[in-house]
Amino acid sequence: LLGEEQREVYAAEPVWVEYAKSFFPVLLVVFLLRSFLAEPFKIPSSSMRPTLEVGDFILVNKFVYGIRLPVIEQKIIPLGDPKRGDVVVFRYPLNPSQDFIKRVVGVGGDVVEYRDKALTVNGTPWPQQPDSSYSYLEGLRFETLERSIEKTDGDASRSHTIGVNKSAQPVYPSNVRPFSGRENCDYNERGFKCRVPAGHYFMMGDNRDNSDDSRYWGFVPDDHVRGRAFFIWFNWDDIASFAFKRVGSGIR
């Protein structure tokens, strides 16, 4: 017969099993938080400058528009819908495995018009107030934009910052790809006019002349929406330079 100590040795679980048991509750909490409440994302491009810069780490509220099942992103408890002016992370319609981030400028039923760099939604202009210039490094090029404060639906209490390159066209019709609902849009070199289908959204980047957005690939279905961006929690350049101008700031 085995002694008591020998039986304890044989009965002991492998170390990896003990570690798995210890980490499982932590992993479960992280999974639930990322799936239902908030998820971190990193900004990879300049399409949302000056609002969001390359290297910004942001938090996205996944609860604000409703509770969705993980993986399949099916909404099971609706709590609200994206509104004009919201900064939203969504699955890219042409490649749903890729996440994009843009600003909502039109919801289902809206008529979005962009002529000569001026945005109008349902006949209401979104006025722009000049706000100096904005410069940044894009690869090996140094870009300078005219910075403006744009008022969502003309409401002064709901505004955001955009950047405009006056030498660029409002839209390049030759770059527009085929998309569902394309017949709802009219393009020319001065701009475009689109009616947004029900259950869809029209997205544009704040860096208006350096953004691949709904102008070129169409509307975003509601089931592609992942959440609303609301907070910048990290930016290495901001911390390394001791500027602390971005870290800890909200997104509007």
State yes or no: is 102 an active-site residue.
yes
State yes or no: is 151 an active-site residue.
no
DSSP percent split of the chain into helix, strand, coil, nearest 5: 20, 40, 40
List the catalytic residue out of 21, 22, 46, 47: 47
CA 195 to chain centre: 22
Q: Which residue's entry shows tokens 């992942």? A: 226
* Neighbouring-strand partners of residue 101: 89
Cross-sheet strand order for the sheet of 57-61: 38-42, 57-61, 225-234, 87-92, 95-107, 200-204, 220-221
Rg (CA), the chain: 23
Give the separation between CA 71 and CA 216, rounded to whole angstroms.
27
CB neighbours of residue 213 within 10 Å: 20
Give the separation between CA 211 and CA 45, rounded to whole angstroms.
9
Give the separation between CA 71 and CA 73, rounded to whole angstroms.
6
- Residues, the chain: 252
Q: CB of 193 within 8 A of CB of 202?
A: no
Output DSSP code: residue 52.
S
List the catalytic residue out of 62, 102, 117, 151: 102
Give the separation between CA 49 and CA 227, rounded to whole angstroms.
19
Residues catalogued as catalytic: 47, 102
